[in-house]
Structure 1
Amino acid sequence: MYLRLAALGDSTTYGIGDPVPGGWRGWARLLAGALATSYDVSSCNVAVSGATATSVRAEQLDTALAHRPDVASLVVGINDTMRSAWDPARVRDDLMTCADALHGSGALLLTARFHDHGSVFGLPGVLRRPLAERIETVNRVYDEIHATYGGLRIDLATRPEVTDRRFWSVDRLHPSELGHRVLAHAYAGLLAVAGIACEPPSLVAAGGYDPSWRRDLAWMMAEGGPWVGRRARDLAPWAVRMAWTEVRRERVLV
């Protein structure tokens, strides 16, 4: 039986955190491989590192629709919360437009609710709480998508693996190989319940590269440092405003 899969999103869906010779793999490719144990799979992963809801709509949606997917994943929004140009109304419009188009094409939607990234990062409360509020705003959009279009979704906040350091790569933003395997395994389980059964991906992190301090350092030098620099320039003014707002709020409550 033929099955078409399209994956839209940002760096997590692209596969960052799960290195293999020649590039990245990630949960979407692991899921495609698992589905291939039962189906003749045509997979289209159009995710891009750094993508926002707006860029998914503008740059990924048409290509995904042209693939005529039976199953389509839409997992994006965290990059939006980490930008000073945060616009919740636009994020909702972009995500709802993508979901409507994918569902309208006949695809079964795969989505996610996000956890509190700030707690995983170890951010202080004055920064973690404003970020958590933005993430919850994105989650409410995904709640609306799920209520409107159905589909299958993972609630990361309820999964105990998210608090396990082994779930995360060195940057604590992207899943490790194990984390990607957990995500692929979870989606495979949901698909099986929906009647699209396959042999789920292994939860043993045997592929890719073993983590080491040398690779962690190499990543931080080549990727992590520049990423932090870009985000710091964008977010520093917002972070200062939010921290000051939180301090004032705490003083009022006292």
Structure 2
Amino acid sequence: MIPPTSPSRSSDARRVRALVTLGDSTTVGLGDPLPGGGWRGFPSLLRDALGGPAEVALTNLSRSGARMACVRREQLPGALAAHPEVAVLCVGMNDTLRSDFDPVVLRGDCAATVSALRAAGAHVLMLRFHDHTRVFWLPAPLRRALRRRIDALNTVTDVIAAGDPHGIGVLDLHLIPGGYERATWSVDRLHPSERGHRMLAAGFATLLAGAGFAVPQPVSLQCSGGRQVSAADRAAWLIVKGVPWLVRRGRDLGPVILEGLVTELVRGTPASG
């Protein structure tokens, strides 16, 4: 369990007045529903830690299904127009789940996005992704294929961050205590639960405090203000969205599974997961 973020109010700490978040459905806030509808998610929780809506302008440009190229093409212009002190980039998992996954192309889009944000003066926060197969069941061949792709995605992050270690902070989800616990994930096991979103916000806030930014309020890991997900909600998700999603991804990644099986047979790799 990550401890709640310690407030940082040092007189020489830099205040964040404009926060931009770019990415996919996790950045939209999926998994952290609000009682009146819609989503909250880590962007709002991080904004509150940095001073709240009265002091920090949050521009959340994310959309469900976005890939790295979408962020560069569709979200980056709006991010630059917001003149952020801090920009959070949370994207890439949708790329790993598509049959046209190309780490070289992904690296080009990611590098261009981060370079543009840094050139505009933003401190950039990125993610190293966890082993998603530890929280979401997949058939063994698909599990192995996804692990390889997540490794490739994390390598892209590592290379880009290493080129600007003072201007880029990286939150490693694999190392967050409690990150693989069931309560950290929503019913779909693809998006963080409210608790998971709070852990993300706390992790990002800690990185910002370490980089010299003011974090006036701690990020509490105590769940509050969200809508409790019921057993009926879980059943509805499984029927309406869960099974259709698995069918779509199975079709899309069928060639990937076949290629992985052939590679393993050639190399003599055991077929077990």
Decide: shared fold, TM above 0.5.
yes
- Answer yes or no: is 1:104 the counterpart of 2:122: no
Tell me how far apart the structure 2 counterparts of residues 100 and 57 of structure 1 sit (CA, whole Å). 11
Tell me how far apart the structure 2 counterparts of residues 67 and 61 of structure 1 sit (CA, whole Å). 10
Tell me how far apart the structure 1 counterparts of residues 261 and 123 of structure 2 sit (CA, whole Å). 41
- Residue 222 (structure 1) aligns with: 240
Tell me how far apart the structure 1 counterparts of residues 212 and 177 of structure 2 sit (CA, whole Å). 26
Secondary structure (helix, strand or coil) at the match of 1:8 reads strand
1:237 Cα deviation from its structure 2 partner: 2.7
1:247 Cα deviation from its structure 2 partner: 4.5
| Per-residue CA distance 1:7-62 (angstroms, 9 max, x = gap) | 00111111111111221111111111221259710110001111110111111010
- Answer yes or no: is 1:211 the counterpart of 2:229: yes
- Residue 172 (structure 2) aligns with: 155
Tell me how far apart the structure 2 counterparts of residues 95 and 113 of structure 1 sit (CA, whole Å). 13
1:205 Cα deviation from its structure 2 partner: 1.3
Q: Which residue, out of 11, 31, 35, partners 1:17?
A: 31
- Residue 183 (structure 1) aligns with: 200
Larger RCO, structure (CA 8 Å, separation 6 or more): 2
Tell me how far apart the structure 2 counterparts of residues 9 and 62 of structure 1 sit (CA, whole Å). 13
Contact 1:114–1:156, Cα closer than 8 Å, also in 2: yes
- Give 1:44's aligned amino acid: T
Q: What TM-score do the two structures reach when normalised by structure 1?
A: 0.92
The 5-angstrom pairing of residues 1-254 of structure 1 reads 3-20=17-34, 21-37=36-52, 40-150=55-165, 151-196=168-213, 197-250=215-268
Alpha-carbon distance change, 44 to 38 in structure 1, aligned in 2, over 3 angstroms: closer
Q: Provide the alpha-carbon RMSD of the alignment.
A: 2.0
Secondary structure (helix, strand or coil) at the match of 2:228 reads coil
Alpha-carbon distance change, 3 to 115 in structure 1, aligned in 2, over 3 angstroms: same
Query: Which segment is superposed worse, 136-145 or 192-201?
Result: 192-201
- Give 2:31's aligned amino acid: G
1:68 Cα deviation from its structure 2 partner: 0.6
Contact 1:11–1:50, Cα closer than 8 Å, also in 2: yes
Tell me how far apart the structure 2 counterparts of residues 247 and 130 of structure 1 sit (CA, whole Å). 14
Tell me how far apart the structure 1 counterparts of residues 44 and 270 of structure 2 sit (CA, whole Å). 50
* Number of equivalences: 253
Query: Which segment is superposed worse, 45-54 or 117-126?
Result: 117-126
Query: Which segment is superposed worse, 190-199 or 244-253?
Result: 244-253
Gapped regions of structure 2 (runs ≥ 5): 1-14
Secondary structure (helix, strand or coil) at the match of 1:44 reads strand
Tell me how far apart the structure 1 counterparts of residues 16 and 205 of structure 2 sit (CA, whole Å). 17
Tell me how far apart the structure 1 counterparts of residues 246 and 140 of structure 2 sit (CA, whole Å). 19
Secondary structure (helix, strand or coil) at the match of 1:32 reads helix
Query: Which segment is superposed worse, 62-71 or 119-128?
Result: 119-128
Secondary structure (helix, strand or coil) at the match of 2:59 reads strand
Contact 2:125–2:170, Cα closer than 8 Å, also in 1: yes
Secondary structure (helix, strand or coil) at the match of 1:154 reads strand
Contact 1:83–1:235, Cα closer than 8 Å, also in 2: yes
Tell me how far apart the structure 2 counterparts of residues 173 and 14 of structure 1 sit (CA, whole Å). 13
Contact 2:16–2:86, Cα closer than 8 Å, also in 1: no
- Give 2:74's aligned amino acid: E
Secondary structure (helix, strand or coil) at the match of 1:102 reads helix
Higher helix share: 1
Alpha-carbon distance change, 247 to 126 in structure 1, aligned in 2, over 3 angstroms: farther
1:248 Cα deviation from its structure 2 partner: 4.5
Q: What TM-score do the two structures reach when normalised by structure 2?
A: 0.86
Gapped regions of structure 1 (runs ≥ 5): none
